[in-house]
Amino acid sequence: MNKKILIVDDEPDIVDLVSYNLKKDGFRITTASDGEAALHKIRKDRFDLVVLDLMLPGIQGVELCRIIRNDPKTAGTPIIMLTAKGEEVDRVIGLESGADDYMTKPFSSRELIARIKAVLRRTGEKPTTEKTLTLGNLLINLETHGVTKGKTPLELSATEFNLLVYLVERKGRVFSREQLVDAVWKGEAFIEPRTVDVHIRRLRTQIEDDASDPAYIKTRRGVGYYVEGDL
C-alpha cells in the first residue's frame, strides 16, 4: 500500500507543489493549512510521515511536533520540518522538538522526495535480533519499538529509537558522529553531524535521570558517543 503523507503548510503554492510531486511518485496525500486542522487530522487518521512547516497559524510547527511526539499513538510518526527559517538555531530547535529531518525553503522537490524516502526507509526498518534489549532500568522492545523506563513508557521518535538500539547493541564501542550518520541515517548526504548531537541530547532528556550527567549514553571527548558495556 502506498505511504500516506500529511503536508502541513499555510502557503497554497507550496502545498500544491509538494502534493503534485509526491502524488506523481505514488504517495497518498492529505493537507492542512494550520496547526489545529493538522492536529485534528493526525488524531483522526494514521500517517506514515508528516511534512510540517515551522511557522503556522494557530499551533506553531514546533509545538505541533512536540504534541505528536508526546502522544503514544503518534510518537513514532516521522516528521520532516519544511520552513523558511534556515539559521542553525532554528534547525536545532526543530530537531530538538522531535523532527527527524529539516529542510529550508526554497527547496528542491527532488531532494524533498529523496529525504522523505530516506526517512521512511530508515524509520521503517525493524531490528531482527533479540526481541528485547535492556539497559539499566530501560526495556527496549524491538518488535513494538517501545521503550519503558522502569514502568514509565517513553515517547521516542523512530530516529531516536534506532539510534538508541544501535548504541545499545554495540555496548562499549565508541562511534563518531560521522559513523552514526552512516549507520543510523544510512550515510544520507544531507544529514549533518550536528544532527547526531541534537538527537543524542533529546535521547538523554528521556532516558537519563540527569541528562547533564548521563549514566547510559556517554561522550568520549573528541571522539564520539558510546554506551558503557557493563550496564
Residue pair 10/56 in contact (Cβ under 8 Å)? The answer is yes
CB distance 83 to 90 below 8 Å: yes
The full set of domains in the chain, from first to last, is 4-124 (3.40.50.2300), 132-227 (1.10.10.10)
Tens-place pLDDT, residues 10-52: 999 999 999 999 999 999 999 999 999 999 999 999 999 999 9
Give per-residue pLDDT as tens, 143-202: 888 899 998 999 888 889 999 999 999 999 999 999 999 889 886 767 788 889 999 999
- Coil, helix or strand at residue 33: coil
pLDDT digits (tens, 9 = 90+) for 69-95: 888 888 889 999 987 776 777 777 778
* Residues near 218 by beta carbon (within 8 Å), at least 6 away in sequence: 225, 226, 227, 228
Q: What are phi and psi of 190, to 5 degrees?
A: -95, 5
Q: What is the tens place of the pLDDT at every residue in 128-139?
A: 455 889 999 999
Whole-prediction pTM: 0.66
Looking at residue 1, its pLDDT comes to 55
Q: How far apart are CA 185 and CA 202, in angstroms?
A: 16
